[in-house]
Structure 1
Amino acid sequence: MARNGQTQSWAGGSLAGVKHSPLWLDGFTGPQHPPVDADLLVDLLVVGGGFTGLWAALQAAEQNPGRVVALVEAGSLGWAASGRNGGFCSATLTHGLANGLARWPDEIGLLQRLGRENLDAIERTVLAHGIDCGWTRAGEMVAAVEPWQVDALSAQVDASRQLGGRVSMLDAVQARAVASSHTYLGGAVDPDSTAVLDPARLVLGLAAAAVSLGVRVYEGTRVVGVRDEGSRVAVSVTTGLDTGLAAAPASTVVRNHTVRASRVVLATNVFPSPLRRVRPFTVPVWDHVLATEPLSDRQWDDLGWHGGQGISDAGNQFHYYRTTPDRRVVWGGYDALYYYGSDLTQRRMRHPETSKRLAEHFFTTFPQVRGLRFTHAWGGAIDTSTRFTALWKPALGRKVVSVNGYTGLGVGASRFGASVALDLLEGVSNERTRLAMVRRPPLPFPPEPLRWAGIQLTRASLGRADATAGRRNAWLRLLDRMGMGFDS
């Protein structure tokens, strides 16, 4: 994406006084639920208070009202990826159609249908429980901003339509009617594949719905060990410990307890699993997001983006962006940062160079709103797998199932991931659990220093592909043949 000195000067001033926290978490007062204060005996324990954990708890309570379900979260609900994303809720379970076709061509029709049904089910839950999360299902446009991307998008539209999709290819004029950017050379529009929402409010709504059905929710409760006890799993937890997690409940008294459960869902997302065998299958990728101040009437009209659609561009290093009910623009993506040793320390939440780069790209895309300020800038870690999709790992005699690896599309796919995890725990054989995606895990990432070196080489190669009409070099072609990759 082209840049110039004037654009950079707009970007510098636009970040003055920015707040380094997610827009969605403004006004949140911290934990709403107590930590575990005694040993517990439950039917199902869910570890992790993000989207996957909340969907698992809610669906388990809905399916079996007599089941005793507990959820433990080390920090506070939704403080990590579930409250730090851009608020896109997508129907895809395969990180896009192209990735699904490359990996599971024989099952792609089923995967597409299951994805649409999953998004429909999320919408029904939001409506049934009155969750006030700004749910807007206006679809998404993927914009071509380089000539080579037009043909690539056109091919994807053809493939989608052959599978029954309602995707349309737009020319430059039509794409610029969706949002007024001179950078658009075309676009692919899917009218119902995506909703935008306030992810933190969805977290709170799912938690309230689960609690209303009897789920016990505990915050500030860190899992420190899991062991097999035959008919049950013993999960050791600690409270009052400095977890190093933002918004963790403060306490000066460290207490240890044991939660015994017949079944356990591990929904720890990007954070190291209590089961070491699971850890090599994901790495943390840091993504960064900006949010503008509310646009004036004049700026809103100049932007020309009134349909509520989510938008992304078609590059390997891509941006995603959407509007909010109070007329802000949330703008993120492009850089996908990995730090040696899978560093998850809080200092990685800020990256001034990336924030400035995002601001420059924003004003390149929408120069007509120059002078607009950004009020929020934040970062969060995404759990990336080598195939860019969720993975499930049963353990301890199938009494435990872990699920993670969504690679940036977990707002929607997390419900599906939780559904499959519950099915696997119960030994259910159905069209979900028989999927090759569920039965066969991806290749793990190599250990350090090979991990860091390989990821940096891949990032550089993806950037080079964007600069050379999408041509993939020998390294990327090798990864393609191996069925591996790196993305956010």
Structure 2
Amino acid sequence: MQAKGSKLLASALSEAAPTPFWTDRPERPSSTDPLTTATDADLAVIGGGYSGLWTALLAKERDPGLDVVLIESGLCGHAASGRNGGFCAASLTHGLANGVDRFPDEIDDLERLGRKNLDEIESAIRRYDIDCDFERTGEMEVATAPHELEWLRESHDAAVDLGYRSELLDAQGAQNMVHSPTYLGGRWDRDGVAMLDPARLAWGLRRACLKKGVRIFEGTPVQRISKTQGALDLHTPHGEVRAPRVALCTSAFQGPLAKVSRHVVPVYDYALMTEPLTAQQLESIGWADRMGLGDASYRFHYYRLTSDNRILFGGYDAIYHFGSKIAPGLECNESTFETLAQHFFQTFPQLDGLRFTHRWGGIIDTCGRFCAFFGSAFKGKLAYAAGYTGLGVGATRFGAEVMLDRLWNLDTERTRLRMVRSRPLPLPPEPLRSAGIHLTRWSMARADAHQGRRNLWLKTMELTGLGFDS
């Protein structure tokens, strides 16, 4: 397929604002006041993304009289929770295949709990009247290379064995669903994924927390944690919170607990958003069922329609910076944006001339097993969850339940899971960390170019239980 010229790509990107589409809205809430005093609480939550918001909200649902304080360094939902693709998956294990490989003895339970978790997210959205364009349309994974067809069949067979509604499509069937000449086949998971507006979900959870009486202090980074009599002190620039129970929900950001950071890699992921499609443009691509889309490559793309018929197109590059560097300047990568635009028009050549209105990036908290891990510190006074690897829109609610179970020493089906009791191997320090990640990215690109054949490095990584993904 002929590549689109660089001048045409530059024209398509020329008016794209370097900011997340989801948060570039007038209804973005004003921040609360930062913490400026010392205060006590029954539960302190560090981090105001999905993980922290669900933890605070569920704690109040369990015990309305609980005094909950949530501390956020910026504005709730400003990071990964407000700039992702808006795919809310039932899977707790970054997909069924990863779950079967890592937790074969409990995959049935993990899948059942994941589907229940997605149902409960939908119920909470309705209960709290959160306007976030929730659509339970499912997701179609497409093959764009011949070797990926067998992968789709394996995924389909595993899904059917669990009783899920899965449709396996040949090239014509996939192209009838969505009109792209690149599709060689597809698999439609009808029930396991919902589409939503991620920022509005975060803002709705924040509003629900405030109505429940959660005290939220934004613009308040936690600089360190210290032990005190029967509690923990959270030290911020201008105040302190003392609480007997603390939930650490900082995702890929360096938090005040080093043991978490040893297992997490911050990976930059990028996305584009188009202008709204006209009725004629929408008809030219089909997509009447509005499911999320993703290709089956190692270096995959994800894309979906918004409520006003824009197309979000992201993924492919998963970029790590030496020393786990995180900085605002890394949220824009013009080379990656051009690559994504090129791939977009290869996928939908009939949309030639469409322009992009937004381009942005953000970090994902990747870990070696591609799905969340859990732990505690300070003799059980602090619980944490991290490593969601891009599927945190849904799985963070489950993680919040796990943290609350552990903080109150509850023996539940969740806390008995091997997935919850085990942790991935820690990642090596620099420079080995950076060298290993870059070698893995090179190997994944090579596998995509050679019929999916994994080289010795990827096979070794698989045997040791380590990996790299977004």
Normalised by the shorter chain, which TM-score bucket? Answer: over 0.9
Is 1:349 matched up with 2:348? no
1:414-465 CA-partner distances (Å, limit 9, x unpaired): 1011110111111111111111111011001100000000000000000111
Contact 2:299 2:444 in 1 (8 A): yes
Which residue number in structure 2 is paired with residue 16 of structure 1?
14
Contact 1:384 1:486 in 2 (8 A): yes
Structure 1 unaligned runs (5+)? Answer: 239-255
Which residue number in structure 1 is paired with residue 442 of structure 2?
460
**In the alignment, which of 388, 411, 419 is matched to residue 393 of structure 2?**
411
Q: How many residues align?
A: 469
Structure 1 distance, partners of 2:146, 2:358, is 33
Correspondences of 1:157-176 after superposition (within 5 Å): 157-176=156-175
Which residue number in structure 2 is paired with residue 186 of structure 1?
185
Give the counterpart letter for 1:365 in structure 2: T
Give the CA deviation at 1:161.
Answer: 1.1
1:94-131 CA-partner distances (Å, limit 9, x unpaired): 01111111100001000110110000000000011110
Name the Cα RMSD after superposition: 1.1
> What TM-score, normalized by structure 1, do the two folds share?
0.95
Structure 1 distance, partners of 2:408, 2:229, is 16
Is 1:270 matched up with 2:252? yes
**In the alignment, which of 264, 268, 276 is matched to residue 286 of structure 1?**
268
Give the CA deviation at 1:192.
Answer: 1.2
Give the counterpart letter for 2:345 in structure 1: F
Contact 1:10 1:370 in 2 (8 A): no
SS class of match (2:223): strand
Give the CA deviation at 1:12.
Answer: 2.6
Is 1:449 matched up with 2:448? no
Contact 2:3 2:342 in 1 (8 A): no
Give the counterpart letter for 2:14 in structure 1: A
Structure 2 distance, partners of 1:135, 1:5, is 35
Give the CA deviation at 1:37.
Answer: 2.3
Contact 1:31 1:219 in 2 (8 A): no
Which residue number in structure 1 is paired with residue 202 of structure 2?
203
Q: Quick one: structure 1 residues 31 and 281, their matched pair in 2 at CA, closer, same or farther if it must change by over 3 Å?
A: farther
Q: Quick one: structure 1 residues 5 and 163, their matched pair in 2 at CA, closer, same or farther if it must change by over 3 Å?
A: closer
Which residue number in structure 2 is paired with residue 222 of structure 1?
221
Contact 2:4 2:345 in 1 (8 A): no
Runs of 4+ in 1 over 4 A off after TM superposition: none
**In the alignment, which of 324, 328, 339 is matched to residue 306 of structure 2?**
324
**In the alignment, which of 281, 284, 305 is matched to residue 287 of structure 2?**
305
Q: Quick one: structure 1 residues 184 and 9, their matched pair in 2 at CA, closer, same or farther if it must change by over 3 Å?
A: farther
SS class of match (1:201): helix
Which residue number in structure 2 is paired with residue 61 of structure 1?
60
Which residue number in structure 1 is paired with residue 33 of structure 2?
34
1:70-115 CA-partner distances (Å, limit 9, x unpaired): 1010011111100110111000100111111110000100011011
Give the CA deviation at 1:227.
Answer: 1.3
SS class of match (1:34): coil
Give the CA deviation at 1:342.
Answer: 0.7
SS class of match (2:324): coil
Give the CA deviation at 1:6.
Answer: 3.4
Contact 1:322 1:331 in 2 (8 A): yes
SS class of match (1:59): helix
Give the CA deviation at 1:8.
Answer: 4.7
**In the alignment, which of 370, 377, 380 is matched to residue 398 of structure 1?**
380
Q: Quick one: structure 1 residues 413 and 7, their matched pair in 2 at CA, closer, same or farther if it must change by over 3 Å?
A: farther
1:154-202 CA-partner distances (Å, limit 9, x unpaired): 0111011112222121111111122110111111111111111111100
Structure 2 distance, partners of 1:188, 1:230, is 56
Contact 1:10 1:363 in 2 (8 A): no
SS class of match (2:245): strand
Structure 1 distance, partners of 2:42, 2:22, is 33
Structure 2 distance, partners of 1:52, 1:125, is 15
Contact 2:276 2:310 in 1 (8 A): yes
User: Mean Cα displacement is larger for which, 440-449 or 162-171?
Assistant: 162-171
SS class of match (1:168): strand
Correspondences of 1:333-344 after superposition (within 5 Å): 333-344=315-326
Give the CA deviation at 1:230.
Answer: 3.5
SS class of match (1:112): helix
Contact 1:34 1:218 in 2 (8 A): yes
Structure 2 distance, partners of 1:7, 1:410, is 36
Contact 1:391 1:438 in 2 (8 A): yes
> What TM-score, normalized by structure 2, do the two folds share?
0.98
**In the alignment, which of 368, 373, 377 is matched to residue 359 of structure 2?**
377
Which residue number in structure 2 is paired with residue 133 of structure 1?
132
SS class of match (1:381): strand
Structure 2 distance, partners of 1:6, 1:386, is 36
Which residue number in structure 2 is paired with residue 245 of structure 1?
none
Structure 2 unaligned runs (5+)? Answer: none
Query: What is the identity percentage for the equivalent residue pairs of Structure 1 and Structure 2?
Result: 49
Which residue number in structure 2 is paired with residue 232 of structure 1?
231
Give the CA deviation at 1:210.
Answer: 1.0
Structure 1 distance, partners of 2:2, 2:164, is 39
Contact 2:29 2:203 in 1 (8 A): no
Is 1:82 matched up with 2:81? yes
Give the CA deviation at 1:31.
Answer: 3.7
Structure 2 distance, partners of 1:10, 1:362, is 13
Q: Quick one: structure 1 residues 233 and 410, their matched pair in 2 at CA, closer, same or farther if it must change by over 3 Å?
A: same
1:340-398 CA-partner distances (Å, limit 9, x unpaired): 01110111000000000000000000000100000000000000000011111200010
Structure 2 distance, partners of 1:30, 1:110, is 38
Which residue number in structure 1 is paired with residue 2 of structure 2?
4
Is 1:259 matched up with 2:241? yes
Contact 2:3 2:346 in 1 (8 A): no
Give the counterpart letter for 2:325 in structure 1: D
Structure 2 distance, partners of 1:164, 1:133, is 29
1:202-223 CA-partner distances (Å, limit 9, x unpaired): 0110011111111111101110
Structure 2 distance, partners of 1:72, 1:65, is 19
Structure 2 distance, partners of 1:204, 1:7, is 40
Give the counterpart letter for 1:305 in structure 2: W
